[in-house]
Amino acid sequence: MNVFVTGGTGFVGREVVTQLLAAGHDVRCLVRRRAGSGLPEDKRITLVGGDVTDSATLTDALLGCDAVINLVGIIREFPRQGITFTRLHTEATRNLVMAAESQQVSRFIQMSANGTRADAVSAYHQTKWLAEEAVRGAALQWTIFRPSLIFGRDDQFVNLLAGLLRKSPLLPIIGSGEYRLTPVAVSDIAAAFVRALTTPESIGQLYHCGGPATFTYNEIVDLVAAALGKSVWKIHLPPALLRPVVALLEGFPQFPLTRTQMLMLLEGNECDPTAWRSAFDLQLAPFGTGICDYLIA
């Protein structure tokens, strides 16, 4: 197949592109800048200049493709730079859906997020829901994936924790730390996207994507510390105390937390991956040993 990929230069995107090539597919990647994309050198990859937030740049960009994989997403906003959840999640998906419909690309696979729902409390999940609605409402053969926390060599979450623990054994924890997550390997997420292309039973389906085990945040911290061979002393801080601090500092890119991220973390992010694992015959990588592969190296 010739697969049109957006978000192909990101953490998940690079793994998806790698696995698409390994499966024998051709890949057309939408990129804002052709130089320094970080994608592998391969004659089966075609880079197309454009921007999903600008529908004009998608004109004819999908012609000749058999499927679309949309991986565009952000975890924090920078409104002054035009980087917002509404623009990158909802509007970008609508643009891509319209382009797929007008250019007769019927197969559409969408990256969403676990916790996305109509009555979501965070702007992140609200805009992901509206993006899903755009996909579901289109004349497309769609599949939607909702991953929990994704881990892998270039992830932000685990590497951030590891960086903090390398500097000091004292680690601030928001609240009790008993909120739960079901971390899933980026390689497993990518495998599902690729296998969905040749799994017609996945058309019109939504899948919750998680690893083989659910952990509390406290347990995740312990597993990261163990992978590093470090001790950790957790300092539990009341959310009410942290919120004004986060509100004051979240505009600085160097500050590692936003109010939206804090809200989603406290809400938890666990799921049952049974249906997803079965549909795509996945052997899910365990979190504890999986992070050792890149934290120890």
d(CA 242, CA 265): 13
* Domain-embedded: residue 100: yes
Whether pLDDT at 35 is above 80: no
Q: How many helices (H) and strands (E) does the chain have?
A: 11, 13
- The model's pTM is 0.96
pLDDT value for 297: 62
Per-residue tokens: 146: 């909702």
Confidence of residue 38 (pLDDT cuts 50, 70, 90): confident
pLDDT-derived band at 174 (thresholds 50, 70, 90) equals very high
Asked if pLDDT for residue 121 goes beyond 70, the answer is yes
Residues of the domain holding 111: 2-152+184-210+271-284
- The answer to whether 52 and 97 are in contact (CB under 8 A) is no
Is residue 202 situated within a structural domain?
Answer: yes
Residues 6+ apart with CB under 8 A from 82: 53
- With respect to residue 201, please indicate whether it lies within any of the assigned structural domains: yes
pLDDT at 36 over 80: no
Q: Tell me if 173 is assigned to some domain.
A: no
CATH code: domain of residue 105: 3.40.50.720
Summarised one tens digit per residue, pLDDT across range 54-72 is 999 999 999 999 999 999 9
86 lies in some domain: yes
How many CA within 13 A on the CB side of residue 153? 7
* 290 band by pLDDT with thresholds 50, 70 and 90: very high
Separation CA 148–CA 185 (nearest Å)? 10
In-domain check, residue 108: yes
Residue 80 CB neighbours (<10 A): 7
What pLDDT, in 10s, does the model give residues 184-238?
A: 999 999 999 999 999 999 999 999 999 999 999 999 999 999 999 999 999 999 9
pLDDT at 127: 98
Tell whether 28 is covered by a domain: yes
Domains in the chain, number:
1
What single-letter amino acid sits at 218?
N
